[in-house]
Amino acid sequence: MRKLKNEELDRLSVGEFHRAEKRPIVIVLDNVRSLNNIGSVFRTADAFLLECVFLCGITARPPHREINKTALGATDSMKWKYSENTEDAMMELKDRGYELIALEQADKSISLKDFIPEKKRKLALIFGNEVRGVDQHIIDLCDECIEIPQYGTKHSFNISVSVGIVLWDLVNKL
């Protein structure tokens, strides 16, 4: 077995990425405070060829040295948009035909393992603040709520980990 060199990986250039057909999935970050998490989300969104990342509320925006540290150039490839108000971003996405899905522990949440996305459905996945999660008034605007099964003593994953888990699962199901 031999580790492949970067030039052997056959990755898209930034220009090719911009022209490529994207998966109809957007990530909405609702008041995410960690610049490292934000950068990691950009990098993961790029890896899964998503449409866009919406940055809302206190969520920082590129260009920023700390975001770039974990994004590793994905802020150049990924389309992103800032909205001061998460509700405004969600209403825009709803008007554009996206199903709004919060990632949160809620009384009527669906386990990720049981969630089956429709093939051509456009999805907006909302991830919340590292401490408070997705605010209730944002959950109230959502069509569904997905929960990642957890079996240990902790009640949450880091946002960047959650984004990776959810996208890996959804992309495989699609």
Mean pLDDT of successive 10-residue segments in the chain (174 residues)?
A: 91 94 97 97 98 97 96 96 97 98 96 94 96 95 97 93 98 94
Say what the pTM is. Answer: 0.95
Cα–Cα distance, 171 to 114 (Å, whole number): 14
Q: Does domain 21-149+156-173 have CATH number 3.30.70.60?
A: no
Q: Which tokens hold the place of 139?
A: 């959950």
Cα–Cα distance, 79 to 45 (Å, whole number): 10
How high is the pLDDT of residue 120?
A: 86
How high is the pLDDT of residue 155?
A: 87
Cα–Cα distance, 111 to 83 (Å, whole number): 29
Q: Which residue has the tokens 């009384």?
A: 107
